[in-house]
Chains A and B, each alone.
Chain A
Amino acid sequence: MRSAVASSAPARAPGRARDDGAAIVRIAALKKTFGDLEAIRQLSFDVGDGEFLSVLGPSGCGKSTLLMMVAGLIDPTAGEIRIQGAKVAGPRREIGVVFQSPVLLPWRTVLQNVLFPIELLKLPRAHYQQRAMELLRMAKIDEFAGLLPRQLSGGMRQRVAICRALVHDPNILLMDEPFSALDAITRDEMAVELQRIWQAHRKTVIFVTHSIREAAFLSDRVLVMGRRPATIIDELTIELPRPRSIAVTEDETFNRLVRHLRKAIEASHAE
């Protein structure tokens, strides 16, 4: 049954992404149900190579489920996800994931945690050790390489998690509300850091968040998802010049974007 649906032509849902040919991730007519609960309905969009795409929506709207499907951890009920042309049927090497909590292994030092994917993927450790140190330096936590996670603050732990997601040089970075557990000041700081890291590495990023400001600040493009079952209700291209500093969030242009996104979300609530 699933294959019959998957082979049908992808439906053009509202908010369908522009087809610029450089898509690295293509999501077509994606559907996910848990028993009677329909989490995601007819979701289609593309993500361009090197693009920073945010998926913005209220808590529990199915955006994390979407991300877990892209990561190959959950199978879609219908529809398909293609990464560089290949259909996703399980976890893939070219993906790095950052979760809501840092999920570091408490018995490993910062450096050992960052190198964990290298061990699992059986890549040459000696080669990647240097890369891991460079990532830590870039995230400004290299001096803590020998410490255990419990000796770090929440923000630093999440930086370690970001380094870990990047260590095996994936093309695509999936981020599931990575800053939601942090305080407001650390959040702003981390957004700036993430932008810097992204500009240095130019990974494709799919960033799931419920923070309008965060989405507007970080993204090239924002997809707004409505209440369950999740579909795209709006799409907004953010053309603010980079690198963006936190000062940008006080500009009128930025606030107009934020208002636009807020209205889109409120409209979906009113339904």
Chain B
Amino acid sequence: MRNNVGKYAATIAWPVLVTTLILLAWEISVRALGVRSIILPSPSAVIETMAERRDLLLTHLWPSLYLTVLGFLLSVVGGIVVAVLITYSAIVRKGFYPVIVVSQVIPKISIAPLFIVWFGTGTVSSLLLAFLVAFFPMTINAAMGFESIDEDIHRMARTFMGSRWQIFWKIRMPNALPYIFGGMKISITLAIIGVIVSEFVASQEGIGYLIKLAGSLLDTPLMLAAIVALSISGLALYGIIAAAESWAVYWQPPPEAVGVGGG
């Protein structure tokens, strides 16, 4: 156990060190070269801004996070339902599945203005865009998880007269969990992008709106403060999913630290 903790400390020590060095270099060069804060504020200036304009940042952060989480949850439920249909219905698998896959060629973000036309500026458009971009990886991953059961396991369950229902709940579902969590990790990041882009296009609130507003006012410190706040939130959401994964998928040895820092 202690060894594990030591290993974990070692894996995070290096990235932390590198990040610190980069921030330090940034701070020093901005001060030494006298870069104007409208071009690039120093890290300390950004932190100062975050503290000073905390209320403004939070006011705009909440609606964005709320829509992100809601869109994400909808995509999880929707993705799993569609994946079940893909697994069990030949019509969906042969007819709709290829269409869903090919439709991914469309950069979904480019549909944002169309959503504004259809659903107006506001929460509905943001929510739908978040759902739309997050839905696909969820569906693909869950479908893969449901279908990737070992033929021998399926056979074993059949010799013990397992019904389709039992095979789904007792075999396919747990078997799909690692895949579903893999999909969730991708979807949460995409859901954030969906909401932010939608707020860029047309919205009167949200962190995306704030970033755009700060940009148009040439308030670079505020812009960076908003970006940092958004990144921290994204990291936290990703971390919650990763923690839920290691709890739910207890039977798999913990993954190497490779993917963990990627959030």
Contacts and interface: CB of A to CB of B under 8 A. Distances in A.
Interface of A: 68, 71-73, 91-93, 95-97, 99-101, 103, 105-107, 116-117, 119-121, 148, 150, 168
Given A73-B158, A105-B153, A120-B160, 4 more contacts: A91-B158, A96-B159, A119-B166, A150-B251
Contact of A99 (B156, B161, B177): B156
B159 A148 contact: no
Contacts of B159: 71-73, 91, 95-97
B162 interface: yes
B14 interface: no
B174 A107 contact: yes
Interface string B144-162: 0000001011011111111
Contacts of A92: 161
Q: Which of A72, A103, A105, A120 has the most B CB atoms < 10 Å from its CB? A: A120
B180 to A, nearest CB: 13
Given A93-B161, A120-B161, A120-B162, A73 B171 contact: no
Contacts of A119: 166, 170
A117 B155 contact: no
B250 interface: yes
A260 B174 CA distance: 49
Interface residues of B, number: 21
B253 interface: yes
A44 B112 CA distance: 70
A119 B159 CA distance: 13
Contacts of B166: 119-120
Contacts of B171: 105
A95 B166 CA distance: 19
Given A103-B152, A105-B174, A120-B166, A91 B160 contact: yes
Contacts of A96: 159
Contacts of A148: 251
Nearest to A100: B152
B3 to A, nearest CB: 17
A144 to B, nearest CB: 15
A115 B156 CA distance: 13
Closest 8 pairs between A and B when the two form their complex, measured CB to CB: A117-B160, A120-B162, A107-B251, A120-B160, A97-B159, A103-B152, A103-B156, A106-B251
A27 to B, nearest CB: 18
B174 A116 contact: no
Contacts of B163: 120
Q: Which of A71, A95, A103, A107 has the most B CB atoms < 10 Å from its CB? A: A107
A120 B157 contact: yes
B150 to A, nearest CB: 7
A93 B159 CA distance: 8
Contact of A103 (B150, B177, B252, B253): B150
Nearest to B166: A120
Contacts of A117: 160
Contacts of A97: 156, 159
A233 B163 CA distance: 39
Nearest to A149: B251
A121 B160 contact: yes
B65 to A, nearest CB: 32
Contacts of A116: 157, 160, 170
A91 B156 contact: no
A90 B150 CA distance: 20
Nearest to A106: B251
Contacts of A72: 159
8 contacts: A95-B159, A96-B159, A97-B159, A103-B152, A105-B153, A105-B174, A119-B166, A121-B160
